Structure 1
Amino acid sequence: MSSPATDRAPAVRSEQDDTTRSRVLSLVLAHGPISAAQIAKDLGLTPAAVRRHLDALEAEQIIEVSLVRSTRSGAGRPARRYVVAPGGHEQLGHDYLGLAREAIDTMQRVGGDELVRAFVADHVDRMRERYRPQVEAAGDDVEARLNALTAAMSRDGFVASHTTVTPRGPKGVALRSAQLCQGHCPIQEIANEHPEFCEQETELISELLDVDVRRLSTMAAGAHVCTTHVPLQLRSAGSTHSTNHTTARQGGLS
């Protein structure tokens, strides 16, 4: 006959599993695509323990694997990274977004706006590290760089696309531009409350394409897609980035 302590053990383990799984998912939400090794490092767990939770979340179709070609090791097998699945947010409801929002609010209370900005900067730095090699490999042509960026963002789950438009400017001069659209925003509720995410992502798009861009709409502000205007011309030599934004509620990031 088992002891009371033995009978209670599985329930205790289950509660611990749920807590750890929530922490794992929070990191995928905030930093995906992210590796199992990075999650293990951030949480102080073994990679094997983290993979058990990742496998469970993947089986529930909440997260999925994104294969990312390493820019450091050259040729070889793509690395496995984890992102929230397209239907994952619908399954999650607001619980995990609420958890992430509470974490950021705690950062703001403890460290003020400076700590939140540092967190956002780290998030965008990870995006920069992933996207820059792919965009720069496309060469100097802005449209080619935009094609590369669109593909990279789609692999990250942003469901990105772009269309080219050619309106007539003064004296009938054709002014070619494109609209970059992001059909999915993993953190739109958080971005609505913390526009730092929106502002820094818009700056990143401008930096990678090397043109001044302008955010036209965001899901955080209630639009169906996040749309960014991209002029299809190179910057002049020695120019500086001066990204144009819409209002704080509309110039956001997805």
Structure 2
Amino acid sequence: MPVASEAPHVLESRTRDRVLQAISEQGPITAVALGRDLGLTTPAVRRHLENLAESGLIIERETSHGIRGRGRPARAFVLSDAGHQALESDYDHLATQALRFLAAESGGDAVRRFAEARVGELEQRYAAELASAGTDTAARVDVLVTALSRDGFAASARPVGETSSSRSPLTGIQLCQGHCPVQHAAREFPAFCDAETDAFSRLLGVHVQRLATLAHGDHVCTTFVPTPSLNTPNVDTLNVPTPSKEGSTR
């Protein structure tokens, strides 16, 4: 029957996707490690790795975490640029479809509540970590950058508006995120960006302002975090400097 003949192909495709996902999360990773983590034999993993490499979705990278043969570094694998794009496209497409369905069935407010709930889970985890930084804004930003980077946001920060000899009326920190897991969904549903910005304000204890987002086509998500002082004016009434194209130095 057709269903029976298709079943091995479907199973093979799902396993291939699992291998690709595992490489994205743990790469560089060897075939042996992949097999151990996914419960597959090493020959089976190597077959999928060969197919993924032929498709241009992964590339080899030598690693010192394991020596084989006569001192040769073990072969490990990471996603190629095409692999990142393919993986993100598949998941983003499904997520965006689900959000469209939610909006059609329950309205835009349901999407907003979902976005707030999703960000709220991150905020709850981060709040405990930021508590150890005390009330100093810069220290709290440092902890937030570490937490965001750990979760795949490629975060960084740098001071703006202050030199060794003078202090700008608008002095603070530019918080950057070079990657966003929900970038494509946020392009259509800005509630995700809004929820994240509000969470940053609560976590840092100051009113932050989003300057740029990946969802809107910018090269990085950038948030201005004012450094509190007696003379710091309301950030909404000022012309905020445009985000630096250089990224961060921290």
**1:191 and 1:197 in contact (8 A); partners too:** yes
**2:170 and 2:235 in contact (8 A); partners too:** no
> Could you tell me which amino acid in structure 1 is paired with residue 112 of structure 2?
R
> How far did residue 116 of structure 1 move?
1.2
User: Which one of the candidate residues 133, 153, 164 is aligned to 1:138?
Assistant: 133
| Alpha carbons of structure 1 residues 93 and 184: separation in structure 2 relative to 1, 3 Å | closer
Looking at structure 1, the residues matched to 188 and 151 of structure 2 have their Cα atoms a distance apart, in angstroms, of 22
> Could you tell me which amino acid in structure 1 is paired with residue 98 of structure 2?
A
Match of 1:96 in 2: 91
Match of 2:155 in 1: 160
Looking at structure 1, the residues matched to 219 and 12 of structure 2 have their Cα atoms a distance apart, in angstroms, of 36
Q: 1:128-182 CA distances to partner (integer Å, 9 max, x unpaired)?
A: 12211111111110000000000100001110000012348xx966653110010
> Could you tell me which amino acid in structure 1 is paired with residue 105 of structure 2?
V
The structure whose residues are more often strand, as a share, is: 2
The correspondence of residues 72-221 of structure 1 with structure 2, limited to 5 A, is 89-92=84-87, 94-167=89-162, 175-221=170-216
> Could you tell me which amino acid in structure 2 is paired with residue 221 of structure 1?
H
Over aligned residues, Cα RMSD in angstroms?
A: 4.0
| Alpha carbons of structure 1 residues 17 and 198: separation in structure 2 relative to 1, 3 Å | farther
Looking at structure 2, the residues matched to 108 and 174 of structure 1 have their Cα atoms a distance apart, in angstroms, of 42
> How far did residue 92 of structure 1 move?
2.1
Report runs of 4+ in structure 1 exceeding 4 Å deviation: 16-23, 50-53, 59-62, 85-88, 171-175
The count of aligned residue pairs is 184
Looking at structure 2, the residues matched to 93 and 209 of structure 1 have their Cα atoms a distance apart, in angstroms, of 30
Partner of 1:137, secondary structure, is helix
Looking at structure 1, the residues matched to 168 and 181 of structure 2 have their Cα atoms a distance apart, in angstroms, of 39
Superposition TM-score, scaled by structure 2 size = 0.60
Where structure 2 has 5 or more consecutive residues not aligned to the other structure, the ranges are 26-36, 59-78, 237-250
Where structure 1 has 5 or more consecutive residues not aligned to the other structure, the ranges are 27-31, 33-49, 63-84, 236-241, 245-254
Looking at structure 2, the residues matched to 208 and 219 of structure 1 have their Cα atoms a distance apart, in angstroms, of 22
**1:132 and 1:208 in contact (8 A); partners too:** yes
Q: Please tell me whether Structure 1 or Structure 2 has the larger radius of gyration of its CA atoms.
A: 2
Match of 1:42 in 2: none
